[in-house]
Amino acid sequence: MKKVKIEQPKFSREMTEGSFEEIYGEEPELTGCMVANAQAEEAAIERAVFSKVIFQNGQFMNSLFERIDMVDVLFENCDLSNVRFPNGVIHRAVFKECKLVGTDFSETHMSHVTFQECAVRLSDFTDARLKHVSFKDASLKGANFYGTDFKHVLFEQCDLDDVQFKHMSLKGTDISTCRFDQLHVNLESLSGCIVSEEQAIGFAKLLGLTIKS
C-alpha cells in the first residue's frame, strides 16, 4: 500500500480549559484550549478560527461554520452530522471516532487531515481540495466526491459503497483494501487508481468486458 505521510496536529504543552461560548464574541476564535462536552447545535458562525484546540464529546449537529480556518485541531467522539464547512480551510486536523453523517465540506481546502474510525456517510466533498488526507476504518457510504481534487489521499479499510467519484481523478489513490458493492465512477476518473485483483475484475465487468478463466 502506498504510504501517505500525514502531519499530526501540534498542541501547546499546557492546554487551558475552554468553552465553546467564547466563539460568540466579536472575533470568533478559540486557541490553545481543550473544550469538552460542547453543546452547539444549529450554531451559525462565519470566519471562525480554531487553533490548537481539542474538542471532546461535542455536539455540533446542523451548525454552519462558513469560511472556517482550522489548524492543529482534534475532534474526538464528536457529533458533526449535517454540519456545513463551506469554503473552509482545515490543516493538520484529526477527526477520531466522530459522526459526520451528511456533513458538508464542499469547496473546502484540506491538508494533512485524518478521519479515523468515523461515520462519514452521505458527506459532501464537492469541488473540495484534499491534499495528504487519510480515511482509516471509516464508513463513507453514499459520500460525494464530485469534482474533488485529490493529491496523496488514502482510503484504508473503508466502506466506499455507493460513493460518487465522477468528474475527478483517482490517479495514484489506493482503494485496494476497501469494500463496496457499487461505485459511481467514470473511466476517466478511474484511470491510475490502485485496486485489488478482485476489484479489477468487478470494474472490468462494469465496462462490459467478459472475463474468461
Mean pLDDT of the chain: 92
Q: Region 77-97: what's the mean pLDDT? A: 97
If 0-12 CB within 10 Å is exposed, 13-18 middle and 19+ buried, where does residue 59 land? middle
Q: Region 26-47: what's the mean pLDDT? A: 91
Q: How high is the pLDDT of residue 14?
A: 84
Q: How high is the pLDDT of residue 9?
A: 96
Distance between start and end Cα atoms, the chain: 27
| CATH assignment of 16-206, among 1.20.140.10, 1.10.274.50, 3.40.1190.20, 2.160.20.80 | 2.160.20.80
Contact 6, 25 (CB under 8 A): no
**Across 76-80, 83-87, 95-99, 202-206, least confident range:** 202-206
Pairwise CA distance, residues 196 & 111, whole Å: 27
Domain ranges, ordered by start, for the chain = 16-206
Q: Would the pLDDT of 1 be above 60?
A: no
Q: Region 145-170: what's the mean pLDDT? A: 95
Q: Region 122-145: what's the mean pLDDT? A: 97
Give the residue among 198, 193, 202 at the shortest CA–CA distance from 174.
Answer: 193
Span 6-30, pLDDT tens digits: 999 999 888 899 999 888 877 899 9
pLDDT-based confidence at 201, cuts 50/70/90? Answer: confident
Q: How high is the pLDDT of residue 209?
A: 61
Contact 162, 144 (CB under 8 A): no
